[in-house]
Structure 1
Amino acid sequence: MKKAAIFDMDGTLVANSPVHIRAFEIFCARYGVTDWREKLANGFGMGNDDIMRLVMPEEVIREKGLAALADEKEAIYREIYAPDIRPVEGLKELLERLRAAGIPCAVGSSGCKANVDFVLDSCAIRPYFDAAISGDMVSRCKPDPEIYLTAAAALGVSPADCVIFEDARAGFEAARRAGAGRIVALTTTLPREELEREPQADRIIDSFADIDDIGALLA
């Protein structure tokens, strides 16, 4: 039986991929960058430094610095998302059931701490989590397994005793490399038919409302 649950944030706790895309559209327009969309598609689940290296021209990175660029883009994201942010359907109910079953939970996100705090507080779900690991708390973001290894350690369990909820390829790889006991994929970012080709996902759900049997989830 699994002893803990770890949740990715972007695309998992909140279905926010379209908001990040809109934030990048605004952000890149400021710098005259027009070929960002396809590059960004390869960066979902990664940390901000890696995404900025994918999307932004080297001369802009040299002038502004990775940290300043990331802060600017994420400030746009939080500003435009704040009026409409809400958790993925069924999340709070699942968290309640996990808490009732005595299953500790953590967040394991490549996102920055400011974004993790923004989501946990705006959605009023912080009390359900015993730990929250953000990308700026580790030396390597997804697809490296460090975030999930750190989250499992914070809960005092082995990754093999965890069910991990994810939505992106980088996250699936990170969970697999961490040795996750079970990986559950959400269709919030990638279409179901694409996820069905992912050998790293043990189960695919459209929302947390699809989980009707906690025992089967944790078995």
Structure 2
Amino acid sequence: MHDLNFRPKAFLFDLNGTMINDMEYHTLAWYSIMTEDLGAKLDYQSVKKEMYGKNHEVLARVFGKDRFTTEEIERLSIDKEKRYQQGYMPHLALINGLDQFLKRAKNANIPMAIGSAAIPFNIDFVVDGLEIRHYLSAIVSADDVEMSKPDPETFLKAATALNIPPADCLVFEDAPKGVESALNAGMPCIVLTTTHTIEEFEGYPNILTYIEDYNDAKLNTLF
């Protein structure tokens, strides 16, 4: 689409790979658990392909839905998030330019929300660690939805929380499943090329443009 004449009334952000560039650390944590702890015969790239949705969905895709008990899934999920946070903590930072972008949106009275498949434990780790909670009017986490992306529930709930029609919301995403979720919600999207190549987003008609970070001058047209 590459059309930046759109004037959004709200910004909806995915978190991982979109506000922070941390997907490598999620993948490393899962890779460690799956291959070292659970004995899966997977390479790094195979694990990376499964990095979407809730933790129990990731485990079900890789090992089958009946492999683990509810208690085992909870334990593995917590262990994974602790490994992720330990690995990423020294590198915790907003993607370049996002701090100024958030300030500009706040000054322009454009409401903002996070719509993420992350659990509150990880969202709080980022939002409070980077002191950005005051910019956000709503947060929709994995615990707030029945269906993960690419289902539109995450972004539709964020729009409802902001009291903004879905068509007036602009989504920032880094993953094809997230772009598909925005498409299913009837929302245009800007893609961060932190995690996937532009070629991996072929066929999504709701993409306005691609950016490497929030210093991109194309974003000036949104205000």
**TM-score of the two chains, using structure 2 as the length reference:** 0.89
Equivalent residue for 2:28? 22
Whether the 8 Å contact between 2:179 and 2:207 is mirrored in structure 1 is yes
Secondary structure of the residue aligned to 2:215 is helix
1:103 aligns with one of 103, 107, 110: 110
Q: What's the CA shift string for 1:148-191, capped at 9, x where partnerless?
A: 000001101111111100011110111010111x2000000102
Aligned to 1:167: 174
- CA RMSD, Structure 1 to Structure 2 (Å): 2.0
Q: Does 1:71 align with 2:69?
A: no
Q: 5+ unaligned residues in a row in structure 1: which ranges?
A: none
**8 Å contact kept, 1:130–1:155:** yes
User: What residue in structure 2 maps to residue 189 of structure 1?
Assistant: 195
1:31 paired to 2:47: no
Give the Cα–Cα distance (whole angstroms) in 1 for the partners of residues 125 and 68 of structure 2: 26
- Among all aligned residue pairs of Structure 1 and Structure 2, give the percentage whose two residues are the same amino acid: 34
Equivalent residue for 1:82, pick from 80, 89, 92 = 89
Question: Is 2:57 the counterpart of 1:50?
Answer: yes
CA pair 39-58 structure 1, distance change in 2 beyond 3 A: farther
Q: Residues 100-158 of structure 1, C-alpha deviation per residue, up to 9 Å, x if partnerless? A: 11100000001111111111112221111111110111111111110000000110111
Gaps of 5+ in 2: 1-6
Q: 1:63 to 1:108 in 2, by over 3 A?
A: closer
**Is residue 217 from structure 1 mapped to residue 222 from structure 2 by the alignment?**
yes
Cα deviation for residue 6 of structure 1 reads 0.3
Q: Distance in 2 between matches of 1:161 and 1:124?
A: 27
Q: In the aligned structure 2, how far is the partner of 1:166 from the partner of 1:69? A: 26
Q: Does 2:5 correspond to 1:5?
A: no
C-alpha change, 1:186 and 1:63, in structure 2 (3 Å) is closer
After TM superposition, list the pairs within 5 Å mapping 1:147-158 onto structure 2: 147-158=154-165
Secondary structure, counterpart of 1:203 in structure 2: strand
Checking the alignment, whether the CA contact within 8 Å between 2:31 and 2:47 is kept in structure 1 is no
Moved over 6 A (4+): none
| Structure 1 length-normalised TM | 0.90
